[in-house]
Amino acid sequence: MENIDLKTLRHSTAHVMAQAVQKLYPEVKLAIGPAIENGFYYDFDLEKPLSTEDLKTIEKHMKKIIKQNFPFKRKTMSKDKAIDFFKKRGEKYKVELIKEINEQEVSIYEDGGFIDLCKGAHVNSTGDIKAFKLLSVAGAYWKGNENNPMLQRIYGTAFESEEGLNKYLKYLDEAKKRDHRKLGTELEYFSMPSKIGAGLVLYHPKGAMLKSTIEDFIKKEHLKRGYQLVASPHILKSDIWIQSGHYDFYKENMFIFETDKQEYAVKPMNCPGHILVYKSRTRSYKELPLRLFELGTVYRNEKSGVLHGLLRVRGFTQDDAHIFCLPSQITNEIIKVINFVIEIMNIFGFKEFEIELSTRPEKSIGSDEQWDKATKALISAMEKEKINYKKNIGEGAFYGPKIDIKLKDAIGRTWQCATIQCDFALPERFDINYIGKDGKQHQPIMLHRVILGSLERFIGTLLEHYAGILPLWLAPEQVRIIPVTDKIHDYAKIIKQKFDNENIRCDIELRSEKMGYKIRQAELEKIPYMIIVGKKEQEKNTLSVRSKENGDLGEIDINKFIKDIKQKIKNKS
């Protein structure tokens, strides 16, 4: 087997998995089984809930099929015959799919007596599958619609060699250790109890401190770059959302309610509020670009099936800004935002990025001319900066095309955070203007942009990137003071006060536990510095310091330690 396309290999493995499941559970109904990034899945309608042990049984049967080296044979069949063929087999999902195909002929693949509706392509035979693993089973609605039946989805992966498979499984194991949901619970950063509602976050003291640290930092960085702070209400009358287009194009993602015979919506975005701030008085061309910034908390009615820890929630805070500018300023403003993103992400420890341009979706507002101008403005900025980018056709916002800047983390995964959207449509819908040099009214162009994006998602990204061991400047608790005996508690409190006075975040371990336990606990909580103090340190006015990163640092003068740690915090280390 040489130069087999991984997508083809994985799709073929999904086919073999369906074959094994059908053999083991003859009553099963087959749905779909595509190759996906890093693997494949297949959806099954099966009454018996599948377990991890069942996956092992399925794997064993797959190996038998692979060993028999059945050739994959492609056949074509008329649409009517295919419907009749699969209807007789009770394969209702296949029948539904065939009815949606526009062509008069469909293709099927057969190997070892197993027949499936399939476009292909496949490897030559089942024996070409050398290394695979079934990973998990989850629920999935047919066609992703919650009104359809819930199916069982088996995920798996396949590689050309055992070496490639083992490398990927190690990667998955590392990703599992970094899972922000696990770390968030262990480190007591946040919880998401079902009692308060799906997709809603409760920040515990440490998590709230981390969020506050990020907010304070990003706010200062915006002010340094000429942004002005604004704040908009969490609810607005539906009239505003009708005018903006959200009511027509985003309503299914909005929480809408009525009070005093007036309909309101909880804001899913901050843009209408910022537009109304701009529109509050007459603006001159001399005021532009006008950059309005808000740490705005928004709420979106995401489907329960897509909610995922902090990465996909229903309530989140954005570092949201809208830039109102002249046509001549667009390219320069976009470049400034791109550079802003890269500078900030470098500070947070992200050095690699993927850039994507998303174009007009099917459901959208504005004229073709507006979309063409907006798209060209984004492309012009990227070309001027010599940025390589990938195109996502039809994936833009409903009001404008966008640039997405994705981060690469410590183990090579990409994360969506920053976005820049160019919008000619909303300024027109809200009739916002400025007085130009000619004394006449003109329409500004509006850039929507976030740097970190959803702070919830960004915190989840940080936790996974650093495996929970955050840099000193971000750590909610930077120092843990551990007195050797109860007699040293007063001295420990004096030290804590000194740290408090210098805005160094610290706590004292006062529980009546053994030293080994206290030290181990601080390690598990990933505290950057542990300070051990006993009678000797009290007499000499020193500290015995242990670093999470560098181990035992020995005995250090209090004032020197404070000076050193303040410098590291200042340097964002």
- Could you write out the DSSP letters of every residue in 91-124? -HHHHHHHHH--SSEEEEEEETTEEEE------S
pLDDT of residue 564: 94
For residue 136, give the nearest of 201, 223, 219, 53 by alpha carbon: 53
Judged against a pLDDT cut of 70, whether residue 2 lies above it is answered with: no
Query: Residue 216: which H helix or E strand, with range?
Result: helix 205-224
Judged against a pLDDT cut of 50, whether residue 1 lies above it is answered with: no
Domains located in the chain, CATH noted:
6-176 (3.30.980.10), 210-233+282-465 (3.30.930.10), 479-570 (3.40.50.800)
- Phi, psi angles (nearest 5°) of residue 375: -65, -45
Mean pLDDT of 227-246: 96
pLDDT tens, residue by residue, 447-468: 999 999 999 999 999 999 999 9
| Choice among 58-62, 124-128, 398-402 with the minimum mean pLDDT | 398-402
Please report which confidence band the pLDDT of residue 198 belongs to, taking 50, 70 and 90 as the band edges: very high
pLDDT tens, residue by residue, 358-383: 999 988 888 888 899 899 999 999 99
Q: What is the DSSP letter of 141?
A: E
Percent of the chain's residues with pLDDT above 90: 86
pLDDT of residue 3: 57
- Could you write out the DSSP letters of every residue in 155-186? EEEEESSHHHHHHHHHHHHHHHHT-HHHHHHH
pLDDT of residue 511: 86
pLDDT tens, residue by residue, 508-567: 988 888 888 999 999 999 999 999 999 998 988 899 999 998 899 999 999 999 999 999
Distance of CA 372 to the CA centre of its chain: 29
Residue 171 CB coordination number (10 Å): 14
pLDDT of residue 114: 94
CA torsion sign for 115, 120, 125, 131 is negative
Distance of CA 44 to the CA centre of its chain: 28
Judged against a pLDDT cut of 90, whether residue 486 lies above it is answered with: no
Mean pLDDT of 324-334: 94
The structure tokens listed for 549 are 């990163």
Decide which of 133 and 146 is more confident: 133
pLDDT of residue 472: 97
- Quote the longest CA-to-CA distance of the chain: 92
Let me know if 161 is exposed, middle or buried by CB neighbors in 10 A (0-12, 13-18, 19+). Answer: exposed
Mean pLDDT of 149-173: 95
Positions marked active-site? 271, 300, 318, 320, 322, 402, 448
Q: What is the pTM of this model?
A: 0.86
What is d(CA 244, CA 484) in angstroms, rounded to the nearest whole number? 63
Judged against a pLDDT cut of 90, whether residue 483 lies above it is answered with: yes
pLDDT of residue 399: 86
